[in-house]
Structure 1
Amino acid sequence: MSRNGQSARFEGKVAMVTGAGSGMGAAVARQLAAEGAKVVVLADVNGESAAAVAKDVAVGRAVSLDVAHAAAVDAAVEDVLQEFGRLDVLVHAAGVDDPEVKQWIADALAAGRPPEVTDRLADPAWRRVMTINLDGTFHVLRAAVRAMRPAGAGAIVVIGSSSAFDTPVGYPHYAASKAGVHALSQAVAKEVVASGIRVNVVAPGPTETGMAARTPAALRTGFADPRVRPYATPEEIADIALFLASDAAANLIGAVLLANGGRFTA
């Protein structure tokens, strides 16, 4: 058992969570600590948010980190190795959406017309989503593998998205970024399993996070289908992520677990 009486799947582990300042990342960090982790490094582009969550995590250490900057990611992981000697678990939850495009889609729905996004989508909007979501995932995976390969062990879990499968109308850059995240993670998983490292992906559907809170009402209504489960909680997605990071998932390599409440299957 862990220090608070919960299961101790991560007893003594050194863990790092990106995007830990809110939502799924924060839920993962809290649960890692509750299940016995020796230390949980909470990394987020908003250092103040990470620090606020770390106050609730007895073994938490907050770090300001923009995953789009490769050198910063390398330095953050190296700091973990220097202080604690190893990195056992990394959960990568950092990512962004595009609130402006979501509003375009909502406006189109309200007007009863199809969304018109691709021909309006500017290069900076495309690059922002791809740089943070896809390039950022590469930076984090690369740094984690560099840290874990010498030890011959480690578990990496990446938060993807069900949007990679259903490719929502009017959201091409986000869908493309997450599809790339899935393929990247699976390719890395097949490579590094020989070094004792497991890489897997959770692909959530609608989840109650800060990102979801910025979703226009018209789009949220579209997800309110009584035939399926409502929006997931961050804790529900964290449970899946931590299962993948645990020894119970030892035979899962390169899995993409679709966690969308039954909206569709893949």
Structure 2
Amino acid sequence: MDGEHAGRFDGRVALVTGAGSGIGAAVAGRLAGQGAEVFTVDVDGPAAQAVAKKLPRAQPLTVDVAEPAQVDRAFAEVSRRHGRLDIVVHAAGVDDVTAKEWIAEALVAGRPPEVTGRLGDDGWRRVMRVNLDGTFHVLRAALRAMVPHRSGAVVTVGSSSAFDTLAGYPHYAASKAGVHALSQSVAKEAIAFGVRVNTVAPGPTETGMAARTPAALRHGFAGPRVRPYATPEEIADIAVFLASDESANLVGAVLLANGGRFTV
């Protein structure tokens, strides 16, 4: 894919959150391979650094997107070094391994999952802080950097689970539905200033989250009538398309990428 689009992002500056692994790392690789100067951002600093070292034009930054001051400092650092920011892909997010285990246990036992009544405030807030609050922090910082230049492309990573909600996973579904609505509202505002915002909503993808998914749940997401789990690179190709000039007329789109598991 990179060879086919070599030079597509020559001279552009990109920032990718969640770039230490999974979809974020794949996006960073695609952008760098197509000419962009990439900042790999992750809460795991060594992971961000390891990805950056493999790329031709990349610099790592350690950032917890749930902390607005850290996000603002990272964007300010990019602006200080380059004077602009052309592309942001926000792939950082978290799941809840404990809730997944409760759901899997119920499936194996042949009973309905009971999660919401057992879900503590800390578990709810952790998912919302990273997935939804973090998206707000990144979108706000991106617009502050891009609006003065009247150009830019932002891509957020949502989830198919915002449409086909999984019983027993309310906080994750709510956080990702919020990402979609937040991104679309900001998109309608930002386009007046030349900044495009779009979202890719992956289905099951072979990432660290998938690796933490119990076998009973993984089995439920598979089947002969649908495509296998997506690779991070397949989702990255969609995100990079949304960041490119080829998607110039896409604003506020939510592209469902779930391998045929359902449509909306």
* TM-score tier after normalising by the smaller chain length: over 0.9
Deviation digits for residues 175-226 of structure 1 (CA, Å, limit 9, x no counterpart): 0000000000000000010000000000000000011000001100111111
Aligned partner of 1:215 in structure 2 is 213
Q: Deviations over 1:35-64 (max 9, x none)?
A: 011x10000000000111111111110111
Secondary structure class of the residue paired with 1:106: helix
Indicate how the Cα distance of structure 1 residues 179 and 5 shifts in structure 2: closer, same or farther if over 3 A, else same. Answer: closer
Distance 1:67 1:154 in 2: 20
Question: What is residue 246 of structure 1 aligned with on the other side?
Answer: 244
Instruction: For 1:117-156, list aligned pairs within 5 A.
Output: 117-156=115-154
Report percent identity of matched pairs.
70
State the partner residue of 1:16: 15
Once the two structures are superposed, what CA deviation does each residue of 1:235-266 show, in whole Å capped at 9, x if it has no partner? Answer: 00000000000001000000000000000001
Gaps of 5+ in 1: none
Q: Please tell me the residue identity of whatever aligns with 2:38.
A: V
CA distance in 2, matches of 1:139, 1:9: 28
**Which SS does the other structure have where 1:264 is aligned?**
coil
> Is 1:205 aligned with 2:203?
yes
User: In 2, Cα distance between the equivalents of 1:55 and 1:107?
Assistant: 41
TM-score w.r.t. the length of structure 2 is 0.98
**Shift, 1:7, TM fit:** 2.5
2:94 counterpart residue number: 96
1:35 corresponding residue in structure 2: 34
CA deviation digits over 1:61-88, x for unaligned, max 9? 0111000000110010000000011000
- Aligned AA for 1:75? R
Change (3 A) 1:221 1:5: closer
Distance in 1 of aligned mates of 2:110 and 2:161: 23
Normalised TM-score (structure 1): 0.98
Shift of 1:34: 0.5
Aligned-residue Cα RMSD (Å) equals 1.2
Number of equivalences? 264
Q: Within 2, Cα distance between the matches of 1:174 and 1:206? A: 14
The answer as to 2:224 corresponding to 1:231 is no
Matches within 5 A, 1:104-123: 104-123=102-121
Equivalent AA in structure 1 for residue 62 of structure 2: S
Equivalent residue number for residue 263 of structure 1: 261
Corresponding letter in the other structure for 1:219:
L
Secondary structure of the corresponding residue to residue 114 of structure 1 = coil
What 5-or-longer segments of structure 2 have no aligned partner? Answer: none
SS of the equivalent of 1:166 reads coil
Runs of 4 or more, structure 1, over 6 Å off, are: none
